């Protein structure tokens, strides 16, 4: 069993897609073991996306991620990190396959509805960062 960390981003909350996305996670036989709705502070987003800080649109990403409530989840299941990432689809909605969350619902590279951890080390670090 693995644990992964998921953020349903502000656009997912604004568009009423919380239930849709959580239903997909549950249908895949993954358990939600922790869940919290909160509005993120700028500092935590800057730390979370530190790998993007040299990109020209970094400020826009931080603005987007802090503009309203998000849902933080810990998801547990067999191969959860890779499977939830596969379920999210490619970062760019135009490359995300239909059947994935981003492929089915996103029309923006930035506002792509969901964050998912990309490796065991990042999952562990992100769970600590967001849930303590």
Query: At closest approach, how far in Å is the CB of 92 from ligand IDP?
Result: 7
The answer to whether residue 13 forms part of the interface with ligand IDP (CB under 6 A) is no
Query: At closest approach, how far in Å is the CB of 49 from ligand IDP?
Result: 6
Q: Is 127 helix (H, G, I), strand (E, B) or coil?
A: helix
Residues between 93 and 132 that touch ligand IDP (CB under 6 A) = 109-110, 112, 115, 118
d(Cα 124, Cα 117) in Å, to the nearest integer? 9
Q: Which of 115, 117, 123, 130 is catalytic?
A: 115
The answer to whether residue 48 forms part of the interface with ligand IDP (CB under 6 A) is no
Catalytic (active site) residue 48:
no
Kindly report each contact of residues 65-68 with a partner whose C-beta sits within 8 Å and lies 24 or more positions away, as own/partner: 65/9, 65/10, 65/40, 66/10, 66/39, 66/40, 66/41, 66/42, 67/10, 68/10, 68/13, 68/14, 68/39
**Which residues sit at the interface with ligand IDP, rule CB under 6 A?**
49, 52, 57, 61, 91, 109-110, 112, 115, 118
């Amino acid at each position: 069993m693995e644990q992964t960390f998921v953020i349903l981003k502000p656009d997912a909350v604004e568009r009423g897609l919380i239930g849709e996305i959580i239903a997909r996670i549950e249908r895949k036989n993954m358990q939600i073991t922790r869940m919290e709705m909160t509005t993120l502070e700028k500092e935590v987003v800057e730390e979370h996306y530190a790998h993007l800080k040299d990109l020209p649109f970094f400020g826009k990403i931080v603005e987007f991620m802090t503009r309203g409530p998000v849902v933080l989840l810990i998801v547990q299941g067999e191969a959860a990190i890779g499977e939830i990432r596969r379920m999210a689809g490619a970062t760019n909605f135009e490359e995300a396959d239909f059947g994935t969350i981003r492929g089915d619902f996103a029309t923006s590279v930035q506002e792509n509805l969901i964050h998912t951890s990309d490796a065991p080390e990042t999952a562990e670090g992100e769970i600590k960062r967001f849930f303590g």
